[in-house]
């Protein structure tokens, strides 16, 4: 390839980002046999906010075992989880999104456990141990190791499903024709060469911008450039005051 030549790469779906959100999107796409490429600005499995986070937990209304009492949790479900989430968010939450999350989260936990994500369970492995969390009426937080543990398992599953992953590729512009996405322009951070991804759909799984702050424990590559790309498309933003 000549120095000023732009190489083209074709796919059905381009996923921008290398964290847990992008990996889960790629895993879902693999179920539909799409020719999918995941473009990661950093080193796959190490970039994004997830690998640098500490202990984690996921709230889900299984109604399993309360860590404090050791007993099964009764009367908990997606309805009570929804109510707690809306109240805890001072009703600023997007109701449609909250509803989808509380209704699907139990299946996502079971799915990610099958990928190798570790969750604390009873000795017979039948039930999840669950603990309390801010704003929750019931003990419903399933917990395990660190963000790195979570990311490692999901990244391995992504590769297992033969998703093509390209490291050190920073997507800098989404290409649109007649309000239809046609691809994206990217730069190879290793050599500075430009590439065009030709695709019919794009998922942006990069969302954090913690690198813009003076103090942050998240990955230094988290600089919000995905927000800038979307801003150029005149797409409406929501809840940007929350980090």
Is the pLDDT assigned to residue 220 strictly greater than 80? no
**Segment holding 102, helix H or strand E:** helix 95-115
The per-residue pLDDT for 90 is 93
Interior angle at CA 149, CA 146 and CA 155, nearest 5:
140
Domains with residue ranges and CATH for the chain:
7-51+157-231 (3.50.50.60), 54-146 (no CATH)
3-state secondary structure of 66: strand
Mean pLDDT of 70-85: 93
Contact assessment for residue 11 and residue 36, using Cβ atoms and an 8 Å cutoff: yes
Mean pLDDT of 51-71: 87
Mean pLDDT of 116-121: 92
The per-residue pLDDT for 5 is 82
């Amino acid at each position: 390839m000549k120095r000023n030549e732009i190489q083209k790469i074709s796919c059905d779906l381009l996923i921008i980002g290398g964290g847990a959100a992008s990996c889960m999107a790629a895993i879902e796409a693999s179920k539909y046999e799409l020719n999918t490429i995941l473009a990661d600005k950093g080193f796959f499995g190490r970039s994004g906010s997830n690998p640098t986070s500490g202990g984690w937990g996921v709230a889900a209304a299984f109604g399993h075992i309360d860590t404090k009492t050791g007993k099964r949790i009764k009367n908990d479900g997606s309805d009570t989880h929804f109510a707690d989430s809306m109240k805890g968010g001072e009703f600023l939450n997007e109701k449609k999104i909250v509803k989808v999350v509380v209704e699907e989260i139990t299946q996502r936990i079971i799915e990610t456990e099958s990928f190798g994500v570790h969750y604390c369970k009873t000795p017979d492995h039948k039930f999840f141990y669950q603990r309390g969390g801010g704003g929750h009426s019931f003990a419903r937080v399933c917990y395990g190791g660190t963000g790195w543990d979570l990311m490692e398992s999901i990244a391995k599953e992504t590769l297992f499903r033969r998703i093509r992953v390209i490291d050190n590729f920073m997507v800098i512009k989404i290409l649109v024709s007649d309000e239809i996405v046609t691809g994206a322009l990217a730069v190879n951070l290793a050599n500075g060469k430009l590439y065009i991804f030709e695709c019919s759909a794009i998922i942006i799984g990069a969302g954090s911008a913690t690198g813009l702050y003076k103090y942050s424990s998240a990955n230094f590559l988290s600089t919000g450039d995905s927000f800038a790309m979307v801003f150029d498309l005149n797409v409406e933003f929501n809840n940007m005051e929350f980090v």
